[in-house]
Amino acid sequence: MRPVVSQVLSEADDGGSRRPPAAAGATAAALLLSLCLGFPPSVAACPPDCLCASDIVSCSGRNLSTLPLDLPGYATRLDLSHGALAALPAGWIARPFDRLATLVLSRNAVARIEPDAFALTPHLLHLDLSSNRLAVLNASVFRGLEELEVLLLFGNRIVRIEPGAFGGLRGLRRLYLSGNRLEAFPLELYQGPAGPRNLTFLDLSSNRLRRAPVQSLLSLPAWQQAGIYLQGNPLVCDCALLALLEFWVWKRYRPLVDFRGDYPCGLGGDGAGARPSCAGQRQGAADNFLEAGTHRVEPGDWLRVPCPGLAPPTQGEPVAFWVAPRAVLRSPGDDPSGRLLVLPNGTLEIRGALLEDSGTYVCVAARGRPFDPGESPEATVSVGNSSVAPDAGSAHGGGAEHFNTAFTTLASCVISIVLVLLYLYLTPCRCREGRAGGGARGCGGRAVLLCSDPREVDSGERRSNGKRVAFLEPQAGDSDTGGPKTPAMNSAHGNTEGILKNGSRTVGQTLTDPAHVA
């Protein structure tokens, strides 16, 4: 805050041209009093070595070895790149930056980051530490950055990442670690108890990786596998790695599509990188290959599923990984239940099939050739009457089929009821307005008659096959006489064929009163 004090004091000294001397002196005295009492000034000036534009503060290229103490706290982006910062201790930031979202520390000489170094910047979304001198990422080095989404660490000298280094970074989505000296794949990023949960982009290119954890990588969701970049590493091309790369080429993941020539095993098509000789690879054009398909089995039975597209091995055992709906299988101990195992020839065996075993199984094996158009390493297993959706990749115990059957039955019942109601209530009926010996006794508002031919009604003809059904509710004033109401009925020659709704009569009762015959 020293520049603010000097600025106000200078204005006070030049009071003759800017403001009255008494006003300038009062302003300076008030500012000094507020500083002595510990109250910060309401106006924050831009440091002399920085450039400020609205909420952006840039101190890039100033060769700063320490952070200026009078940085404005309203900044959302702070650029300290191209400086001489050698370490980030716990108190390297003197004041909280609650609004800071982007912090750029690239191209400094940072070799050490202490815990809680970012405690005063809890809302960072983008942190750039690229092109520094970091060699080891200690535990909890990024503690407090729970909202961080992008972390740039490329161009350092990182040789080791200790457990817990990325603990708490639950919001991390993109991590750049290329151009370092890593020799082991940081699986903790995906398997750590407190690590990122939504990591979609991991750049490990141009490190010193010689082995890739193929089985662990295949166990990741597809949206995470698709964002792993491994090009430019001295990877040893064995049958397991070749199987993984061929599978990723078939899936058309961006790392293989964009940097295919920078991977081993001759994926670039230029002959660079010899492919290993793996059992099950194509030996000639006349070989017969097992195609993908649907395999059905009854619950409790055993099933063997050959690896699609893999030739029968003439010698040796092929390296085959089976990506099951709930696990990635290679050795007999990979399935906790012990019912799923991979045979030496690459065939998957399911012992005592259960309904939950239904689903899509993918055989990842080194075939030594590109996939033909329309060819797939997937096989569908259906247990019992269960059905698997084409894009589901797993079974649901026949729930879809059962739902369809129940829905069809319910729809049929509803349609039948609607048709019955339409027949009972909407069939045209001609009712006479009067009857001999009685007053007006038509349909009125109390009855809907389903009559036979109206001409028969008018002529008084009665036919045994002319069924008539009436729904009547007694109403006051409906009869000229004060006698009791008699519910209507269906009668042909005095015999009741059926009563659908009547609270006082039973089926089969004989009625003889002609006054109530429709």
Which CATH number fits the domain that encloses residue 51? 3.80.10.10
Q: Residue 360: what pLDDT?
A: 95
Total count of domains within the chain: 4
Mean pLDDT throughout 196-222?
95
Q: Which pairs from 395-404 meet CB under 8 Å and 24+ separation?
A: 395/325, 395/355, 395/356, 395/357, 395/358, 395/359, 396/358, 397/355, 397/356, 397/358, 398/355, 398/358
CB atoms within 10 A of CB 306: 20
Q: Residue 200: what pLDDT?
A: 96
339 & 206 share domain: no
Measured CA to CA, the distance from residue 315 to residue 278 in angstroms comes to: 9
Query: Could you tell me the residue range of the domain that residue 13 belongs to?
Result: 1-43
Give residue 388's pLDDT band: very low, low, confident or very high (50, 70, 90).
low
For the cut 60, the answer to whether the pLDDT of residue 31 exceeds it is: no
Mean pLDDT throughout 490-495?
42
CB atoms within 10 A of CB 114: 14
Boundary (domain end) residue, out of 395, 416, 442: 395
Give residue 387's pLDDT band: very low, low, confident or very high (50, 70, 90).
low
Q: What percent of the chain has pLDDT over 70?
A: 66
| Both tokens assigned to 72 | 């404005």
More confident site: 28 or 90: 90
More confident site: 501 or 210: 210
Helix, strand, coil percent content, the chain, rounded in steps of 5: 20, 15, 65
| Domain assignment of residue 280, yes or no | no
| Domain assignment of residue 497, yes or no | yes
| Domain assignment of residue 272, yes or no | no
1 & 62 share domain: no
| Domain assignment of residue 278, yes or no | no
Hey, is 146 helix, strand or coil?
Answer: coil
pLDDT tens across 135-166, in order? 999 988 998 899 999 999 999 999 999 988 99
| Domain assignment of residue 286, yes or no | no
Q: Residue 509: what pLDDT?
A: 45
Residue 219 · residue 328 · CB < 8 Å: yes
| Domain assignment of residue 308, yes or no | yes
In this structure, of 171-175, 248-252, 445-449, 452-456, the range with the lowest mean pLDDT score is: 445-449
In this structure, of 22-31, 152-161, 436-445, the range with the lowest mean pLDDT score is: 22-31
Rg for the chain (alpha carbons), in Å? 42
183 & 74 share domain: yes
Measured CA to CA, the distance from residue 345 to residue 353 in angstroms comes to: 21
Give residue 223's pLDDT band: very low, low, confident or very high (50, 70, 90).
very high
Instruction: For the chain, give the mean pLDDT.
Output: 76
Give pTM, 2 decimals: 0.67
**Residues near 16 by beta carbon (within 8 Å), at least 6 away in sequence:** none
pLDDT tens across 247-299, in order? 999 999 999 999 999 999 888 665 556 778 887 776 444 344 445 588 999 99
**Residues near 281 by beta carbon (within 8 Å), at least 6 away in sequence:** 311, 366, 367, 368, 369
320 & 356 share domain: yes
512 & 486 share domain: yes
